[in-house]
A and B are shown apart, each in its own frame.
Chain A
Amino acid sequence: MFNHNLIDIVKNTCFILLTISLLFGCSSEGKKQDALQVPDSVINEGILEISNEAMQDIIQNISSPVEIAAKIKASGIPFSKKYLAPTDKVSSYNTNLQQSIALGIFGADLGYLNMYNKTGQVLDYISSIKKLADYIKVGQFFDFSTLKRLATNNTNLDSLMYISVHSFNQMDDYLRKNNRGNLSALIIAGVWLEGVYMISQVATDYPDPEMSEKVGEQKIILGDLMLILKNYSKDPNFTKYLEDFEKIREVFRPVKISYEMGEPEAVEQDGMLVIIQNEKSIVHITDEQLALITKTVNDIRNKLINN
C-alpha cells in the first residue's frame, strides 16, 4: 500500500513538474526563445577574452544603419540601387556566420531604403532579412507581417523605420544574452561594413571633403568593432572574418585623427535643452588613402555577399 502510494506521489509530482517546466518553457517570451533548437555550433561559450559585461558596454549601438543613410540623403545625393547588396544569393548562405554578416549588410540596406522612402524595394529586403533571421533562429523578433503591411501601404513610414531598427536591436540583444554573441558581432560588423561601403562609394562618385571625412572617421568605430570581433578569434570558423576586418583596419591605419579641446555649452532653443559640444574630432585623410579604403572595403564586401 505504502509503495503503491509512493509510486503515485512520485508519478504525480513528476507530472506537475513536467507541466510547470513545459508551461514556463513555452509561454514566457524570454523562455520560449530558450526552448528553440539552436545547434551547438552556434552557441559560443568559454572563449571570450573580456567579460560579457564589458562586451555589453562596448557593443551598444556601435553602428546604426540610419545615420550614414541620413548623411548621404542630407547631402542631396540621389538614391541609387547600385549601393545595395543583391538579395538573390540569400539561400546560398549556409552557415550561421555567413547568414549573420549578410543580415547586417541587408539591415544597413534596409536603413538606406527606408531613409529614401523606397517602399517598393523594401519588400525584397525585409523578405531576405526575415529568411536570414529565421536561419539563425531570431526570426521571432522580426515583425515581418507588420513591416510588409507598412511597406505595401506606403504609409506610416516612421513606423516602418521604427520597427526595422527596433527588430534589429531586439535580435542583437537576444543573441548577446544567449551566448550567441559571435553572431551578434557579425551582424554589427555587417551593418558597419555596408555603411562604410555606401559612404566610400558615395565619396568616390560625388567627391566632397565631408564625405571623405565621414569615411575616415570610421577608423574610430572600427577600433571598437575589432575589440568585439577579436573576442572570437579562437573560433576557427570566425578567423576568416577577423582576417578580412584586419585587412580593412590596415588600410585605415594611415588615417590621422586629431582632437580640438573645448567645453560643452548648454543653451535652450524653443524650450528644448541643446548641448553643443565644442570638443572636435578632425579627420585627416588623403585621396590615396580614401581610394585604397574604398577598394579594400569594396573587395571584401563583395566577396562576403557573393559567398
Chain B
Amino acid sequence: MKKVFLITLFLSLGFLAVVKMEAQTTAKLVEMCTKSAGDDATYLKDFVVELEAAGSNEKPPVAKFSMVLSKNNVYRFTVCNAGDSEGKAVIQLFDMNRLLGSSYNAATGQEYQSFNFQCQKTGVYHVFINFVDGKKGSAVGILSFIKTL
C-alpha cells in the first residue's frame, strides 16, 4: 500500500511540476513577446493561444478575441510562437467582418512579426490567431499602444 501511495505521490508531484513549468513558460513567452514588440510599445493585452491541428476537410481552428480600440491611436499587434510550436502563428485584425490587417500575406508568403494599426474609428475590433496550414501550435499575441496621432 505504501508503494502505491509513493507512486501516486510521485506522479502527482511530477504532474504539478509540469503544470507549473507550463505556466512559467507562458508567462515568459508573454514577457518576451512584449519586449519584442519594441521599446516604443506599451503593453495593453496578451492573447495566449494553444490550438490543435485541423482535421482532414476541417477549417483550421482559430482563437478569437474582441477589444475596443480608440480613434487617433496607433496600436501594434505582435505574434510570437512558443519554442515547441509546430505551426507558425498568424495574427489578424478584423473590423465587424472585414479583414484590416494580417501578420502573414498568404499570396506573397510575406511574414511580419508585428504590424501597426492607425485607428480612425473608435469601436469593437476582433483579433484572430491561427496557425499556417492548420497545424497544431501555441503562441502569444500582444496588443500594444504606440502613440496618439
Residues of chain A at the chain B interface (Cβ within 8 Å): 8-9, 12, 15-16, 19-20, 23-24, 27-29, 57-58, 60-64, 66-67, 70-71, 74, 158, 161-162, 165-166, 169, 210, 213, 217, 220-221, 224, 259, 262, 264, 266, 269, 272-281
Contacts and interface: CB of A to CB of B under 8 A. Distances in A.
Contact of A274 (B9, B20, B115): B115
Interface of B: 1, 4-5, 8-9, 12-13, 16, 19-20, 23, 30-31, 34, 39, 42-46, 64-68, 70-73, 93, 95, 98, 100-101, 103, 112, 114-124, 143, 145, 147-148
A269 B115 CA distance: 10
A212 to B, nearest CB: 13
B19 A28 contact: yes
Contacts of A67: 44, 70, 73, 145, 148
A23 B145 CA distance: 41
Nearest to A115: B42
5 smallest CB-CB distances across A and B, nearest first, come from A61-B67, A275-B101, A273-B115, A281-B121, A277-B120
Contacts of B116: 269, 272-275
Contacts of B119: 277
Given A23-B13, A161-B43, A277 B145 contact: no
Nearest to B101: A275
Contacts of B45: 60-61, 64, 169
Given A220-B123, A273-B114, A273-B116, 10 more contacts: A28-B16, A29-B19, A70-B42, A262-B120, A272-B116, A275-B93, A276-B118, A277-B117, A277-B120, A279-B121
B44 A165 contact: yes
22 contacts: A19-B8, A19-B12, A24-B16, A28-B19, A60-B67, A61-B143, A64-B45, A70-B42, A71-B73, A74-B147, A161-B42, A161-B43, A162-B31, A162-B43, A217-B70, A264-B101, A266-B101, A273-B112, A276-B120, A277-B117, A280-B121, A281-B121
Contacts of A166: 30, 43, 46
A9 B118 CA distance: 67
Q: Is the interface of A mostly helix, strand, loop or mixed?
A: helix
B117 A275 contact: yes
Contacts of B42: 66, 70, 158, 161, 165
A274 B75 CA distance: 10
A276 to B, nearest CB: 5
A174 to B, nearest CB: 13
A208 to B, nearest CB: 13
A281 B123 contact: yes
Nearest to B123: A220
B136 to A, nearest CB: 23
Nearest to A279: B121
B145 A70 contact: yes
Contacts of A8: 1
B145 A24 contact: no
B5 to A, nearest CB: 6
A7 to B, nearest CB: 13
Nearest to A281: B121
Nearest to A29: B23
Contacts of B123: 220, 281
B127 to A, nearest CB: 9
B40 to A, nearest CB: 10
Nearest to B8: A16
Nearest to B127: A60
Given A165-B43, A217-B71, A272 B66 contact: no
Given A274-B118, A275-B116, A277-B121, A62 B68 contact: yes
